[in-house]
Structure 1
Amino acid sequence: MATAGSTKGRGRNKRRLIVHLGVQKTGSTGIQRHLHRNAAALADRLILRTPDEGSPMRPLGRAAVHYSLKPSNDSATALAIAFEAVLADLPGNDLPVLLSHENLAGAMPGNGGEIALYPALPNILQIILKSASGFSTDFVVYTRNMARWKASVWAQAVRTDGYTRPEDQFLNETAAMPGWGDLMRRLSEVAGSDRVTRFKLEDEAQDGHPGRQLLRHAGLDDASIDALEALDGQANRRLSQSSTEFLRRLNGMALNPHARGKVVDLVARNQHLFTADAPSEGTL
């Protein structure tokens, strides 16, 4: 049976806590679906927490995004309280814990006027480390080819965050954004390089087991991962270009948010109605 990964000499008597920060559009939805599907199979080795409906993880994600857009003492306190609520909900054993929520990174570019590369994330790590002082905590970030990531982030911002600008304008606004190495450096300065691990989405095997690198980091071997129930299909597929363009124009209208959400769902289910072009092959 697989065991949890080492704590690299830190807090050997503390329970291990692995925080998967995402970021958005790096396969997080597929990873979380895979973890959720196999939670029972992993229950004797690893405690999993993903943003399931009604769980404390949902308000935690909202608190992190709110803090990143409006940092203040109040929003920092709200984030700490939300994180502590997740920890308080854990079973009282010593099994390692894996939390996965892409919104813990804060607002992605295109959300709420953000155009930088997660500027609040180092502060979010500080809040998490303080709240989880009783754990041996480390962080995982997945990254993706920056050009492809930006294109996917733009489409997602149009779909979920009401973003109104065309893709070329978004790319111009984010042209000065540094690479992933800069983000990892900023996180390591706060948490220490031994607490921050980067995995590349391009290195994930396309075998129905998304998050293989994350699960290895959590202590599972390949045989244990292979024995898990695989996902069928791909998660959070990008909408076709014409469907995305329809939603972008819709975002410029003064629609009730609830009504807009229903239209987005309708478009996602009926993309053939908007396809002057073929549906995008993008999967994230």
Structure 2
Amino acid sequence: MATGSSGQAGRRICIHLGVQKTGSTSIQRHLALNEAALADRLVLRLPVEGGPLRPLGRAAVAFSLSRDDASRAALAEAIAVVRENLPDGDLPVLLSHENLAGAMPGNGGETGLFPGLPDIIWMLEEGFSGLTVDYVVYSRRMGQWKPSVWAQAVRTDGYKGTWEAFQAETATLPGWQNLIRRIQAVAPGRVTHLRLEDEIDPAHPGALLLAHLGLNAGEIAALHPLDGRSMQRLPDATTEFIRRLNGLAMNPHARYKVAELAARVPQLFNPDYRPAAGEAAGRH
């Protein structure tokens, strides 16, 4: 049962902002796998199909790219829908969506380090007023993060530039502490900075986030382990194919379909690949 935007004064809302390419998908998969086991400790809100967090993530990205009145109103409405659909009770709520940070470099012409995030947090503060809100941001070593962001921008955001072009566009990108200082200014004392490199157990991604929410090491270790990594970077040849595809005058829906096909069967771009007999027969 939804509560509406009133009531639940003081209830804790922890918002995992991502950012993109810092293990968010693996964290969310692990949380979803253990939702029943965590049900007496946390209310989870993840970006699942048909849920209110996907529209919220899209609205946050759109707002970060324009920050005009229309996108501001759309973001406020998306936040209100999430709040109105919180269940009754006093369990803490964890919202997790990497797109709450806004557009990453390479998406929609963005070249900065989430310049719209402080404004997004202002909107979240307003939308969840009366509740006890805190924020978690993961980071990753820049030398690993930037290539991963470039490859993801090519794959999902239609980015057309080469890795060299992306490096030039983001050459003046500041470090993570710059971002943390900017968002701490909006929510002083309520921003926790976690580092992906400190997540030591790949079978239990998000252990630091769960510890932040009050679970102890034994409780985290007892959760069902996650099998396999999420959203691994594609081989270079596949990324290059999609990058060139992005430069063609195609219907965006068609481009997306071809890019997803390429992502599902990256072995097709390996010059040494030879289909098995069963695969070849399946074409007829």
- The equivalences for 1:49-198 within 5 A come to 49-192=45-188, 194-198=189-193
SS at match of 2:109: coil
SS at match of 1:190: coil
Confirm or deny that 1:30 pairs with 2:26: yes
8 Å CA contact 1:242, 1:276 repeated in 2: no
Q: Distance in 1 between matches of 2:259 and 2:193?
A: 33
For structure 2, the 5+ residue unaligned runs are: 1-8, 274-284
The corresponding residue for 1:222 is 217
The corresponding residue for 1:231 is 226
The corresponding residue for 1:256 is 251
What amino acid maps onto 1:154 in structure 2? W
Q: After TM superposition, give the deviation of residue 250 of structure 1 in Å.
A: 0.4
Larger radius of gyration: 2
What amino acid maps onto 1:73 in structure 2? D
Q: Distance in 2 between matches of 1:276 and 1:28?
A: 32
Q: Distance in 2 between matches of 1:218 and 1:277?
A: 48
* Inter-CA distance 145–277: structure 2 relative to 1 (3 Å threshold): farther
The corresponding residue for 1:8 is none
What amino acid maps onto 2:59 in structure 1? A
For structure 1, the 5+ residue unaligned runs are: 1-12, 279-284
Q: Note the alpha carbon deviations across 1:79-116, whole angstroms, 9 max, x for none.
A: 11101111111111000000000000000000000000
| Counterpart pick for 2:196 among 185, 194, 201 | 201
What amino acid maps onto 1:211 in structure 2? G
Q: After TM superposition, give the deviation of residue 207 of structure 1 in Å.
A: 3.7
Q: Note the alpha carbon deviations across 1:231-275, whole angstroms, 9 max, x for none.
A: 100101110000000000000001112211221121112111112
SS at match of 1:137: strand
Q: After TM superposition, give the deviation of residue 78 of structure 1 in Å.
A: 1.2
| Counterpart pick for 2:239 among 244, 266, 280 | 244
Q: After TM superposition, give the deviation of residue 44 of structure 1 in Å.
A: 1.0
Moved over 4 A (4+): none
Q: Distance in 2 between matches of 1:264 and 1:72?
A: 31
TM-score (norm 2): 0.91
What amino acid maps onto 2:258 in structure 1? V
Size of the aligned set, in residue pairs, is: 266
8 Å CA contact 1:61, 1:103 repeated in 2: yes
TM-score (norm 1): 0.91
Confirm or deny that 1:19 pairs with 2:15: yes
8 Å CA contact 1:241, 1:277 repeated in 2: no
* Inter-CA distance 97–277: structure 2 relative to 1 (3 Å threshold): farther
Q: After TM superposition, give the deviation of residue 139 of structure 1 in Å.
A: 0.3
The corresponding residue for 1:47 is 43
Q: Note the alpha carbon deviations across 1:32-53, whole angstroms, 9 max, x for none.
A: 1011111111111100011000
How large is the RMSD of aligned CA atoms in angstroms? Answer: 1.4
The corresponding residue for 2:280 is none
Q: Distance in 1 between matches of 2:267 and 2:71?
A: 42
What amino acid maps onto 2:168 in structure 1? N
